[in-house]
Amino acid sequence: MITTVSLKDVLLDSTKEVFETMVFMAVEESLQDGTSLDAPALLATITFKGRLEGCLGICCGQTCASAVAASMLGMASGEELGANDVSDAIGEIANMLLGAVKSRIQNEVGNIEVSIPSVVEGRELRSSLGEGSSQVRIRVSIEEEHIAELSLLYREGCNH
């Protein structure tokens, strides 16, 4: 079974890969664990099942989400994005993050099936998988300006 320590590295490496290649923004792990995310926030989640099952999430404030979406779409400053564009972009980041995580762990856990991402907006957002699950949560600094929280909740699946 994968260890929590290695999954933290996997999640961080995957995040850096996605943001560097698809979003064109630099990401580093943030040590500001105590600060709350800007509200209202967006939470994009995507679930997976197989020998390992669970949910990957990315949560950030609206300002951060808009900046990420604008960079991802190569928009010039001043151009405005609609709420649907921002939501779609954050959902797609969750999708690519799980894809990157999956490619790093599939030799150990085998293939996992992935859902379509979903995005919600609100305050104090957190994903949960219930009892018997493990979790990795990390905060990242994006371009040293924005904070986002990444979560990977998981447990052994029925197919193990």
Partner 1 sequence: MGKSLMIVDDSATMRKIIMRTVRMSGLEFERTEEAGSGVEALEKLKAGPIDVVLCDINMPEMNGTEMVKQARQLPNCSGTKIIMVSTESAQELIDRVIADGADGYITKPFTLEKFQEKLAPLLN
Please report, as ranges, the residues that interact with partner 1 according to CB under 8 A.
17-18, 21-22, 69, 72-74, 84-85, 88-89, 91-92, 95-96, 98-100, 102-103, 106, 111, 114, 116
Q: How far is the CB of 152 from partner 1 (least distance, A)?
A: 15
- Kindly state the tokens that stand for 39: 């509200």
Comparing CB distances to partner 1, the nearer of 28 and 39 is 28
Comparing CB distances to partner 1, the nearer of 24 and 128 is 24
Instruction: Confirm if 49 and 112 have CB atoms less than 8 A apart.
Output: yes
Other residues' Cβ atoms within 10 Å of the Cβ of residue 82: 9
Comparing CB distances to partner 1, the nearer of 2 and 22 is 22
Q: How far is the CB of 95 from partner 1 (least distance, A)?
A: 6
Q: How far is the CB of 24 from partner 1 (least distance, A)?
A: 11
Comparing CB distances to partner 1, the nearer of 5 and 116 is 116
Instruction: Please choose, from the candidates 143, 114, 140, 147, the residue with its C-alpha nearest in 3D space to the C-alpha of residue 45.
Output: 114
Burial of 47 per CB tally in 10 Å (0-12, 13-18, 19+): buried
Q: How far is the CB of 31 from partner 1 (least distance, A)?
A: 26
Residue whose tokens read 């209202």: 40
Instruction: Confirm if 55 and 155 have CB atoms less than 8 A apart.
Output: no
Instruction: Confirm if 30 and 146 have CB atoms less than 8 A apart.
Output: no
Comparing CB distances to partner 1, the nearer of 9 and 20 is 20
Q: How far is the CB of 61 from partner 1 (least distance, A)?
A: 19
Instruction: Please choose, from the candidates 101, 100, 103, the residue with its C-alpha nearest in 3D space to the C-alpha of residue 153.
Output: 101
